[in-house]
Structure 1
């Protein structure tokens, strides 16, 4: 008999899943019965939040769906923070959880792991949540999820399966066909025509590019070069134009330097960016004032009505719609963009000393290991890079410092990314953030993942302390006791380094990139301020 659980695994494999992240429990044992023969690798984190962050990093690094298995109740509540981070950044994540058996779920009788309404809880951090009450419900739920991941805004999806349903006969269910999934549509021809008219008439066009354009780098570059239009890349869009491209603006639109460029534009095309405040109003001083005609291209029509008010909306996938625009727009005359070369320096000069040093550190890491993705947590160097950093390619820099802004993301997300790219990945994380998920060093060591943990240590929550001082609040709860990270990392079986000077870091990075297993390199903030300040 082919059970519902076995059918689930076969279907996931058919949709291209090669890895699932999860912690087995008594409520999910049936899911694991057929896993050893499924061809799908199982990764065991040390906390369900870690499982979600691993799936997030895997998805961002690979472009594929990150899949998790969780138990009923605490498994789902633990992974909810990771789902919320993925929801905020539009990351495709499929969370399969168990739930109490039919007749016991939502009963209030106190069954093990029972939530009052587990589906309602999950729905708050998912595009949708569905309970599989019969075997026939499962193929519809999976098809719906993968259709959303492929052709709509790819947020997390939650599917819960009651314990008694997992073992039911699913032999009669149809084999799912990935070829039947819809593709992201091209924007309507009439809208593309009108956009072409506006762009062709522009004297100073500008493009804003976000994470929704991450798989359309070639089309975006072709359009920018044809229009001779600079491209402002948001945090999730960094790397869409290659390093050193004359039209690339890698600084944040929250800086005065970039806002000056935006103010000169007479037509702006915003592609795959939600136009949210963490990219365009980080300092909460008010959104940039746009004199330009604004065209918004997004897969999510509702999102086009948030943030900047558009003059024209294109609803469609970035790749297909940008390709359509490339075919339609006229080749613009060459424009002088020599002033763009100073934008980054001006933007960086606006930052505090510690953020400038942090941004310089990320530049230093990139220049040392240009092929290695950098995964950031909410920590000082990532805040600096968020405001000004040029990634060498798409999917080579991502972080949790924007959007939902959780702590503890950087280590497990880098582990998931390392599984996806099958090579070294850098986790840039602070001493406060790593204590949220430091147990995931065990998972990285267990799998011999070449994760390079760069631990920025300032013995506390520096960003919050600075905010307290700026608001004339006596700092409290931010100068935390800091453990011996060297000893902790050694206990997890990691190679440990602590350079006394920045000059020693390149050799340590190169050695770590060649090594099987994780390396923890502790970086003292005072040393970095001295050597990069």
Structure 2
């Protein structure tokens, strides 16, 4: 497939052009701070790969391009830079598009680089290697934009344009296709254009809207902050604003850790639970920062505050998305939160006691799944506070770890709540560990989800990572089994045959642990965290059903 090496290319045999378009693109990326890429080398993308080692860029070869995209996402969340994926043409690019769809849905920065057919051979239908009807359009249907460039200078300009979006707009994936004859030819791009562009200050709110927001917030007796993924750039200023207002902070799952979850005003990422929604609805001012308040986060609930809604977002188009705003502050969340904090100052306010709400949230979360809650709580008891937790569209994630493993730092809970894909957790955890080797990383996913990306266990071994994977086994696709039962459909296609997970881990070069008693789970997890290399724990949910 993409490793095939018998096709001809525009270059004559043994001709090497080191200052080609591939070099220009990668040099530009390196100047922006990119030191790692994810992908699979193939016949047509080798003039990207040629330049990695000389530029000091580490290649991570996943075993599927979807894993490359999710690995790049996990890496990007730790680095504060876009993930970069290099695919080959045709199947390589198309294999990465599920990851691109995830990045688009969850507003994550991602650059996909791919070669394309030489200029003049578009839509030729001549049976060339990896021939695809229109790969640029295929990607363009998924990503923010997809460009087929016609020179090295155009390719470099596309990289700069991508960073413009990532820095000052809503971060979403882009695709840059470089025709083979351009990729392999001498670059026409001057060296000075390869330099990273300096970062500008983020856009502030206009003075009139800001003044109105400050007036509303100062007068509020019961303000609440709902923080989404777009609030994370505000950093410590968000917690400071909450303190100034004595406003409880509820986050979405993408916003988890925007305020440290040990903070007295933090209520975690449980906006999907009734107690959190009721808190928002009692607010006499609800300040929504960087969230589209999507249905996937609300689980059928409603946000209908009794008072005005102030929304902070980078895009005006989001101001009334799903929840109408009475006032919109459009601009960079870091800049606007800082503006609000400066204008509000440090007023005297009574300290809010959130202990009853916090307890109600935990009780509601436990009621959803007592056994998965217990697994997550036992894991939380042994995980260091700086642990990065990888999740998936698994019940253990949205019924367990999301509620019961608190996070002190943003981007420490790797998940895709809206796109809700399977196969994300393991490669995203690998990418995060590569980016942050000093932090513990634990991937806790269901058996169905892990099978979507099981081949990436060897990537973790190959990269010599210390990584713990917890496979919470409910016998297949338990959520869909429940959905079928709700519709009166007998279980079909959801009860899955399981491998010997511990033996599988050993076969991949890791250490497998078969948990046979509920009491053994936490001690084994603790020991695995102290160990080296890959550790896979197989944890049947049935053990905790019996123990409940």
TM-score scaled to structure 1, two decimals?
Answer: 0.95
What's 1:244 paired with?
Answer: 262
Residues 351-370 of structure 1: pairs in structure 2 closer than 5 A? 351=365, 355-369=369-383, 370=385
Is it true that 1:297 corresponds to 2:326 in the alignment? Answer: no
Is it true that 1:396 corresponds to 2:412 in the alignment? Answer: yes
How many equivalent pairs are there?
Answer: 527
What's 2:50 paired with?
Answer: 33
Moved more, 319-328 or 253-262: 253-262
Moved more, 510-519 or 411-420: 510-519
Taking structure 1 as reference, are residues 278 and 344 closer, same or farther at Cα in structure 2, changes over 3 Å only? farther
The 8 Å contact of residues 447 and 476 in structure 2, kept in 1 or not, is answered as yes
Partners in 2 of 1:172 and 1:331 — Cα distance? 52
- Pick the aligned partner of 2:468 from 417, 440, 452: 452
Taking structure 1 as reference, are residues 154 and 297 closer, same or farther at Cα in structure 2, changes over 3 Å only? same
What's 1:162 paired with?
Answer: 179
After TM superposition, give the deviation of residue 146 of structure 1 in Å: 1.0
What's 1:384 paired with?
Answer: 399
Moved more, 14-23 or 191-200: 191-200
The 8 Å contact of residues 426 and 453 in structure 1, kept in 2 or not, is answered as yes
Partners in 2 of 1:240 and 1:364 — Cα distance? 24
After TM superposition, give the deviation of residue 262 of structure 1 in Å: 1.4
Partners in 1 of 2:367 and 2:227 — Cα distance? 28
What's 2:204 paired with?
Answer: 186
Residues 35-184 of structure 1: pairs in structure 2 closer than 5 A? 35-170=52-187, 172-175=189-192, 176-184=194-202
What's 2:423 paired with?
Answer: 408
Is it true that 1:524 corresponds to 2:537 in the alignment? Answer: no
The 8 Å contact of residues 366 and 372 in structure 1, kept in 2 or not, is answered as no
What's 1:10 paired with?
Answer: 27
3-state SS of the aligned residue for 1:136?
A: helix
Residues 484-499 of structure 1: pairs in structure 2 closer than 5 A? 484-499=500-515
After TM superposition, give the deviation of residue 74 of structure 1 in Å: 0.8
After TM superposition, give the deviation of residue 131 of structure 1 in Å: 1.1
After TM superposition, give the deviation of residue 251 of structure 1 in Å: 4.8
C-alpha distance after superposition, 1:215-259 (max 9, x if no partner):
323010010000111111111111222233221111522322112
After TM superposition, give the deviation of residue 383 of structure 1 in Å: 1.3
The 8 Å contact of residues 55 and 416 in structure 1, kept in 2 or not, is answered as yes
What's 1:307 paired with?
Answer: 322
Partners in 2 of 1:80 and 1:436 — Cα distance? 15
TM-score scaled to structure 2, two decimals?
Answer: 0.92
5+ residue gaps, structure 1, are none
After TM superposition, give the deviation of residue 436 of structure 1 in Å: 0.9
Taking structure 1 as reference, are residues 299 and 386 closer, same or farther at Cα in structure 2, changes over 3 Å only? farther
Taking structure 1 as reference, are residues 172 and 133 closer, same or farther at Cα in structure 2, changes over 3 Å only? closer
What's 2:5 paired with?
Answer: none
Is it true that 1:428 corresponds to 2:444 in the alignment? Answer: yes
Taking structure 1 as reference, are residues 274 and 356 closer, same or farther at Cα in structure 2, changes over 3 Å only? farther
What's 1:319 paired with?
Answer: 334
What's 1:333 paired with?
Answer: 348
Partners in 2 of 1:348 and 1:310 — Cα distance? 30
3-state SS of the aligned residue for 1:207?
A: strand
3-state SS of the aligned residue for 2:259?
A: coil
The 8 Å contact of residues 210 and 340 in structure 2, kept in 1 or not, is answered as yes
3-state SS of the aligned residue for 1:215?
A: helix
After TM superposition, give the deviation of residue 104 of structure 1 in Å: 1.4
C-alpha distance after superposition, 1:315-365 (max 9, x if no partner):
111111101100001434333532x21224323433575634323433332
What's 2:15 paired with?
Answer: none
Partners in 2 of 1:188 and 1:315 — Cα distance? 8
After TM superposition, give the deviation of residue 187 of structure 1 in Å: 1.9
After TM superposition, give the deviation of residue 183 of structure 1 in Å: 4.0
Partners in 2 of 1:10 and 1:516 — Cα distance? 34
After TM superposition, give the deviation of residue 171 of structure 1 in Å: 5.6
Moved more, 514-523 or 350-359: 350-359
5+ residue gaps, structure 2, are 1-17
The 8 Å contact of residues 418 and 449 in structure 1, kept in 2 or not, is answered as yes
- Pick the aligned partner of 2:250 from 222, 228, 232: 232
- Pick the aligned partner of 2:297 from 279, 300, 325: 279
C-alpha distance after superposition, 1:451-474 (max 9, x if no partner):
210000111101111121122222
What's 1:476 paired with?
Answer: 492
Partners in 2 of 1:336 and 1:474 — Cα distance? 53
The 8 Å contact of residues 104 and 111 in structure 1, kept in 2 or not, is answered as no
Is it true that 1:350 corresponds to 2:368 in the alignment? Answer: no
After TM superposition, give the deviation of residue 510 of structure 1 in Å: 3.4
The 8 Å contact of residues 153 and 189 in structure 2, kept in 1 or not, is answered as no
The 8 Å contact of residues 37 and 58 in structure 2, kept in 1 or not, is answered as yes
Is it true that 1:373 corresponds to 2:388 in the alignment? Answer: yes
Is it true that 1:213 corresponds to 2:231 in the alignment? Answer: yes
Partners in 1 of 2:401 and 2:223 — Cα distance? 24
Taking structure 1 as reference, are residues 411 and 356 closer, same or farther at Cα in structure 2, changes over 3 Å only? same
Q: After the TM superposition, which parts of structure 1 deviate over 4 Å for at least 4 consecutive aligned residues?
A: 351-354
The 8 Å contact of residues 153 and 188 in structure 2, kept in 1 or not, is answered as no
What's 1:200 paired with?
Answer: 218
After TM superposition, give the deviation of residue 103 of structure 1 in Å: 1.2
The 8 Å contact of residues 351 and 384 in structure 1, kept in 2 or not, is answered as yes
RMSD of equivalent CA atoms:
1.8
